[in-house]
Amino acid sequence: MSAPYLQAEGVEVSFGGLRALQDCSFTIDPKRITCLVGPNGAGKTTIFNVITGFLKPNAGTVHFKGQSLDGWSPQQVVAAGIARTFQNLRLFVELPAIDNVMTSLPQQSGEEPLAAIFRPLHVARAGRRRRDEAMAILQEVGLADRADEMVRNLSYGEQKLLIIARVLATGAELLLLDEPASGLSAGALDKVMTLLRRLQSEGKTLLVVEHNTRVVQQIADDVLFLHQGHLMARGTPQQIISDPALAEIYFGGAL
């Protein structure tokens, strides 16, 4: 049998006395949309940090296509084909939208990995080909007509699309999206959901942290339910959403 596409096994992360992840184990399948759900503080962002090399776990391993990511830097993880967004948007608000995408394109030879992210103006000058590539990505997320707009002038919904454009620019095949739909109006929400589905149909694999059950129902093939740093349940959206014990944990009986 071939190795799982992505596999977390026994991952543990402690912050002082607080166990953010404990014996956290799951797999995700390729070319599917897996939603990662669970109450605030369940450890969703923390497992993203572990997978993407931003945080070294106290124990446990993550394998991507059979290869251990143990000790890999964030740059190495991106180069291997895994890119993520952050819960706070981390855009360059004083730069045009297209420059924000260009800074995420793979590096030219001879450049330090990630140097571009810290030298965005330098990269903005790096030539027409990169600009065309970035433009094609903006087109894909529906922002082509906003390419030259300063990010601070974009609507919140447009900024959320732009962060997806930035992960696409890395060329990664596995996209980890931390609450890509949070705070969006209904119209903007539909645009993001349509985009995520399209990316999946184009062959991307998505792991998406999401709180909105309507979004989960509409986009998820598989749902992972994290609670207190541990995988508590896995199932279809319907199985997870209709489980009264999980609803109690999620909403604390508030419903």
Ligand X SMILES: Nc1ncnc2c1ncn2[C@@H]1O[C@H](COP(=O)(O)OP(=O)(O)OP(=O)(O)O)[C@@H](O)[C@H]1O
Interface contacts to ligand X, rule CB under 6 A: 15, 18, 20, 38, 40-46, 87
- Considering the rule CB under 5 A, would residue 85 count as an interface residue with Mg ion? no
| Distance in Å, CB of 207 to ligand X, minimum | 13
Q: Which is nearer to Mg ion, 86 or 133 (CB)?
A: 86
Q: Which does 205 bind (CB under 5 to 8 A by kind): ligand X, Mg ion, none?
A: none
Q: Which is nearer to Mg ion, 44 or 146 (CB)?
A: 44
| Residue in 45, 52, 104, 205 binding Mg ion, rule: CB under 5 A | 45
Q: Which is nearer to Mg ion, 31 or 211 (CB)?
A: 211
- Binding-site size, Mg ion (CB under 5 A): 2
| Distance in Å, CB of 13 to ligand X, minimum | 8
Cβ proximity of 176 and 204 under 8 Å: no
Q: Which is nearer to ligand X, 46 or 52 (CB)?
A: 46
- Considering the rule CB under 5 A, would residue 104 count as an interface residue with Mg ion? no
- Considering the rule CB under 5 A, would residue 49 count as an interface residue with Mg ion? no
DSSP-derived secondary structure for the chain: -PPPSEEEEEEEEEETTEEEEEEEEEEE-TTSEEEEE-STTSSHHHHHHHHTTSS--SEEEEEETTEE-TT--HHHHHHHTEEE--SS----TTSBHHHHHHTTSPPPTTSPTTHHHH-HHHHHTS-HHHHHHHHHHHHHHT-GGGTTSBGGGS-HHHHHHHHHHHHHHTT-SEEEEESTTTT--HHHHHHHHHHHHHHHHTT-EEEEE---HHHHHHH-SEEEEEETTEEEEEE-HHHHHT-HHHHHHHHTT--
| Distance in Å, CB of 42 to Mg ion, minimum | 8
Q: Which does 41 bind (CB under 5 to 8 A by kind): Mg ion, ligand X, none?
A: ligand X
Q: Which does 60 bind (CB under 5 to 8 A by kind): ligand X, Mg ion, none?
A: none
d(CA 171, CA 80): 10
| Distance in Å, CB of 87 to ligand X, minimum | 6
- Binding region for Mg ion (CB under 5 A) out of 45-53, 69-77, 124-132, 149-157: 45-53
Residues that bind Mg ion (CB under 5 A): 44-45
